[in-house]
Amino acid sequence: MKIVTYNINGLRPRVSQFGSLLKLLDSLDADIICLQETKLSRQDLTADLVVADGYECFFSCTRTSDKGRISYSGVATFCRVKSAFTSNEVALPIAAEEGFTGILDSSKGSRSREDKRTEKAGGLEEFSKEELLKIDSEGRCVITDHGHFVLFNIYGPRAVSDDMDRIQFKDTFFKMLQKRWNFLLRQGRRIFVVGDLNIAPAAIDSCNPGPDFDKNQFRRWFRNLLVENGGDFFDVFRAKHPERREAFTHWPQNTGAEEFNYGSRIDHILSGGVCFHEDGGQKCHNFVTCHVKECDIMSQFKRWRPGNSPRWKAGRSIKLEGSDHVPVYMSLVEIPDIVQHNTPSLSARYAPEVRGFQQTIVSMMMKRQVEKQIETYEDSSSFSEENITVGSCIENLKRSSYDCNTSGSPSEGSCFASGGSSSVTAHSKMTAFQTDRANSTPGKGIRKKARHSQSSQQLSLKSFFQKSSTSVVGHDRTGSAINDLAEMAKSDNTPIEPTMAEQESCCPEQSQLNDCISTQDEGDLNACCSSEADKSNVAFLEWQRIRQLMQNSIPLCKGHREQCVSRIVKKEGPNFGRRFYVCARAEGPASNPDSNCGYFNAEGRSWQLYQVFDDKAGILPALRSRVLWLLMVIDNRCKDKFM
């Protein structure tokens, strides 16, 4: 049997990287795969993220709504099995639990619905329900019971030295966890603890241990767990490789530390309990010695590999794909099968977010009521639209007739001479339609006609870009009247198509006026576009010059005389949002001249103003250039202050 632990730094990007969840799991080639930092909430769960053929998934997602903790952590355990529902394989757990406090509303094992209840786990009775819920609300643990052993998949909290709230949370988290472990060990259970604990236990496990490294409270807690210090657990990797150095599993993401293997070992596999042998209680027998064949780091999953471009030779612009952690595996031997058992109901295949929610009679009735209300609303809305459409059609017809009669042409003559009977027919049909509309109730056929009339009057994309002629008073109204009559005829399916000759015969001066206006507008438009293009080119060239000057003003690191890279302080405090400059090379040991030289330069106030003006594209180019030039002069005079 092979067990793997892997902090994947987001399940969704890893699935995208490998092409599918199944390919990701198969690449690890293990019977039990424990993933941390999935960064999924229950609302994000979909079948492509938690369901794969040949695997059963048990997960825990964050439930807190605290700032910065939503979809932040999360763990998932995938078990490779041959049968999806019942099996005697050790990899398929006989029970599963979300969290470790026992109070989350999750089913444990295959208990019946009547037996489900939220109760505190053994050893945690002294804590209140609120304290336990706070610890388990971040989705940092999932437990699977495999008969011969209980497996804890853990994502330990991270706490920086000056964040007292997170330090307290981390301390409480591990103290509660240890009480749960002690309770199970007293019952004679074997325990495996795997995951990213965010603790480098000894100086050999860190690239840069400081003078107070061993005094850290969490490192002391970790070492007290180990058998050599009177505890109950083995650090399986150190038990197999006690003297191996630079065996790291994590590297900072933003410093390129993987290039020089400048990291720490914070992903662990711990084993507690006796072996399977009858005389396992003797000192010469323990689980690691008797049943652990190998435990090692899967370095082939590192993001940076030999042959990649160095960080200072365009390597910074290449995004390294993968997690900032690598997996750790443990191979077990002589693990017997267990009795036939079913898949626990905590499996992801039974999750409502994946399987779907079961409808109740009440929900079905409510759905029908909503559908009836929507149908009634649509009928009433269509009736209102008919009134508006028909009214506007009649008003347009009346206005067109009036405008044509007052445009200077004979009242009964040329405007309708070419249209003739078609125009009269359209008018009579509309009048008859108005009479029928007033004397009848809304019917299905009328609604269809009204909708057709409304859709026929919708503007086309071509008409949107054509110039409007409403600015010309008197002469332009004649053309609009003819267009309105044509639209009316189309809506009533009357074949009337007024031609350009007909419009010219109606109002000959209209065509000449439109030609003059069109020619004048085109000239003005071309002149305006040319002026705007010239301004844009000038502004672009000026801005390019300013950017080049700013680029030349970036400080050079003292170790390599190379341009630095800028960083922004993201931590809350007095320096939040402030920009600073550091050496562009990858972080590494100080003895390596090719690694980061440690150069640091806090920028002056003027550089912050640069960024402000860089984002304000609406400022006039001339004003922007003068202000930026002044800021650069001030910054050059003050540069010695920050070097």
pLDDT in tens, 186-213: 999 999 999 999 999 999 999 989 888 9
Q: Pick the more confident residue, 48 or 521.
A: 48
Phi, psi of 372 (to 5 degrees): -65, -40
Degrees to nearest 5, angle at CA 221 with 211 and 273: 135
Of 95-99, 124-128, 143-147, 606-610, the one with minimum mean pLDDT is 606-610
> What is the per-residue pLDDT for 577?
82
Amino acid 536: pLDDT? 78
Q: How many CA atoms lie within 13 A of 294 on its CB side?
A: 7
Q: What are the pLDDT digits (tens) for 228-251?
A: 999 999 999 999 999 999 999 999
Distance (Å, whole) CA 121 – CA 523: 83
Give the pLDDT band of residue 314 (cuts 50, 70, 90).
Answer: very low
Q: How confident is the model at residue 587 (pLDDT cuts 50, 70, 90)?
A: confident
Give CA–CA dist 318/312, Å, rounded.
11
d(CA 443, CA 447): 6
Across the chain, mean pLDDT equals 74
* Distance from C-alpha of 496 to C-alpha of 488, rounded to nearest angstrom: 9
Whether pLDDT at 604 is above 70:
no
Question: Smallest Cα–Cα separation from 489: which of 416, 541, 380?
Answer: 416
Residue 437 pLDDT > 50: no
Which of 502, 504, 506 shows the shortest CA–CA distance to 407?
506
Confidence band, pLDDT 50/70/90 cuts, at residue 408:
very low
Supply the pLDDT for residue 97.
95
pLDDT at 583 over 90: no
Q: Which of 146, 250, 325, 427 is catalytic?
A: 325
142 phi/psi in degrees, rounded to 5: -140, 135
User: How far is Cα 188 from Cα 147, in angstroms, rounded to an integer?
Assistant: 12
Q: What is the pLDDT of residue 271?
A: 96
Q: Please, which pLDDT band fits residue 352 given cuts at 50, 70 and 90?
A: confident
Residue 103 backbone dihedrals phi, psi, to 5 degrees: -105, -10
Per-residue model confidence (pLDDT) at position 430: 45
The predicted structure's pLDDT at residue 525: 59
Q: What's the confidence (pLDDT) of residue 235?
A: 97
With tokens 């083995």, the residue in question is 234
Q: Which of 401-405, 518-522, 573-577 has the lowest mean pLDDT?
A: 401-405
The per-residue pLDDT for range 524-555, each reduced to its tens digit, is 656 666 777 777 788 788 777 776 666 566 78
Distances (CA, A) of 636 to 554, 624, 632: 11, 18, 6
Residue 538, pLDDT score: 80
- How much is the pLDDT for 229? 94
| pLDDT for the residue 67 | 63
Q: Is the pLDDT of residue 374 over 80?
A: no
Most confidently predicted of 382-386, 421-425, 617-621? 382-386
User: Whole-model pTM?
Assistant: 0.64
Whether residue 452 lies in the annotated active site: no
